[in-house]
Amino acid sequence: MNTRIAFVSAALLVIACPARAQFGDLINRAQRTAADAAEKAAREAAKPKPKAPAQAAPAASAAPSPAPEPAKAATGNAAPPPEAYGNRYDFIPGDKVLVFDDFSDTDVGEYPARWTVKDGGGGNQVEVVQLGNRHFMKSRHAAADQDQSTQWLRYVVKQDMPKNFTIEFDADLGGPFSVLFTARNGFGGQEVWFSAGEDVQVRSMNATGKLPVSSGVHHVAVAVSGTQVKVYVAGERVLNDPDAVERPITRLGVTFAQPLGTAGDHQMITNYRLAEGGKPAKQMLAGEGRIVTHGILFDTGSDVIKPESGPTLRSILALLQEDAALRFAIEGHTDDQGGPGVNGPLSERRAAAVKAWLVKQGIPGARLSSKGLGQSKPIDSNGTSEGRANNRRVEFVRVGA
């Protein structure tokens, strides 16, 4: 099979949406020109209908599938929540989104608006491409002699990045790339390098690792704490280097490395999320009486918990197990895309799914309640993609003394 045809076929599978599979023509593709428009369309499609049978949750695999499974009709009782990734997957996203870029604000064929080649960038050109209903920043493929390509994020760093922050994105692992910090010093140095085709598949300043998958679009997560960097790919921790970066970190970037042959046609990323790490759950609960989380994740328009939500869920479970008197009201919150008629029921179902997961782990249902507040209580502006990302959250509010 032609490599390009195979890749495009795989990419179309990646972007399959369960809401689309179930409701088809109800989704208006013309409205899906931005991530928030995509969220709105999927929520409209997922709007509950009278007497509709409950959905059964697909079983979670050991590694995340890049495409959500189609929804299935339930046979009577509510489906159990999916399993979460195991204890070795300990990534918790930062709780304050600083940058969110799915490249939907840039026309196809143009240079991505939130990135720059100034001061050490450049090389092979990148452009925004569209695969299905998603936009990617993609290195322009050349059949031979393709150079590397370095792009820096347009984000002003005041002296240094926060001590704790996270970077997440979806990347095609079929081509080599690096996550950059401050400056590129070659292999290792101020970067984490990924290349599925090499014996050493992940590399930082002092550590190496192996990738659990070698092709396809998968979720990549990087957690930075001081000089320590932990890296996660497709639901597995693949690298832990206590001295991977030097402080201060003054900028962040991505390099698509010089590829070999057709690997250059697989150099692309999307859904770039930069977030500042916040307080541990126990500290938030002690100081504010509530825990605000952005690490309990769902597919667009869905109430099925994604497996990578495991670390956040387990942190809440640990608090409940440590204190038998602790009771929580679980609140689901959304941004303002889709309207209250859609967002309210969706957030209600998501909060109920979180409660069901905790009950399955042995927490008595009487200690938990759930409700959906939709878009009614934003904690940030809904006027930016970063603000809307901050507003999409699950909160755990202490009940009683």
Instruction: State the pTM of this model.
Output: 0.72
Residue type for 249, please?
Answer: I
The per-residue pLDDT for 83 is 60
Tokens for 265, please give them. 């046609």
Q: pLDDT tens digits, the chain, 401 residues: what are they?
A: 444 434 333 333 333 333 333 333 333 333 334 444 544 444 455 444 444 443 333 333 333 333 333 333 333 344 444 466 656 688 889 988 999 999 998 999 999 999 999 988 899 999 999 999 899 999 999 988 899 999 999 999 999 999 999 999 999 999 999 999 987 655 545 899 999 988 889 999 899 999 999 999 999 999 999 999 999 998 889 999 999 999 999 999 999 999 988 999 999 999 999 999 877 888 889 888 999 999 898 887 889 998 888 889 999 999 999 999 999 999 999 998 888 899 999 999 999 999 999 999 999 999 999 999 999 999 999 988 888 889 999 999 999 85
Ordered by where they begin, the domains of the chain are 1-84+278-401 (3.30.1330.60), 96-276 (2.60.120.560)
CA terminus-to-terminus distance, the chain = 64
pLDDT at 56: 36
3-state secondary structure the chain: CCHHHHHHHHHHHHCCCHHHHHHHHHCCHHHCCCHHHHHHHHHHHCCCCCCCCCEECCCCCCCCCCCCCCCEECCCCCCCCCCCCCCCCCCCCCCEEEEEECCCCCCCCCCCCCEECCCCCEECCEEEEEECCEEEEEECCCCCCCCCEEEEECCCCCCCCCCEEEEEEEEECCCCEEEEECCCCCCCCCEEEECCCCCCCEECCCCEECCCCCCCEEEEEEEEECCEEEEEECCEEEEEECCCCCCCCCCEEEEECCCCHHHHHHCEEEEEEEEECCCCHHHHHHHHCEEEECCCCECCCCCCECHHHHHHHHHHHHHHHHCCCCCEEEEEECCCCCCHHHHHHHHHHHHHHHHHHHHHCCCCHHHEEEEEEECCCCCCCCCCHHHHHHHCEEEEEECCC
- Look at residue 26 in the predicted model and tell me its pLDDT: 33
What does the pLDDT read at residue 165? 96
In degrees to the nearest 10, what's the CA dihedral of 4, 176, 89, 84? Answer: -10
Cα distances (Å, whole numbers) of residue 152 to 112, 165, 184, 356? 11, 17, 11, 42
Asked if 111 contacts 127 with a C-beta cutoff of 8 angstroms, the reply is: yes
**Rounded-to-integer distance, Cα 332 and Cα 394, Å:** 5
Residue 381 identity (one-letter amino acid): S
- Six-digit token pair at 85? 């990734």
Task: Work out the number of other CB atoms within 10 angstroms of the CB of residue 108.
Answer: 11
Task: Locate 285 and state its tokens.
Answer: 């609960």
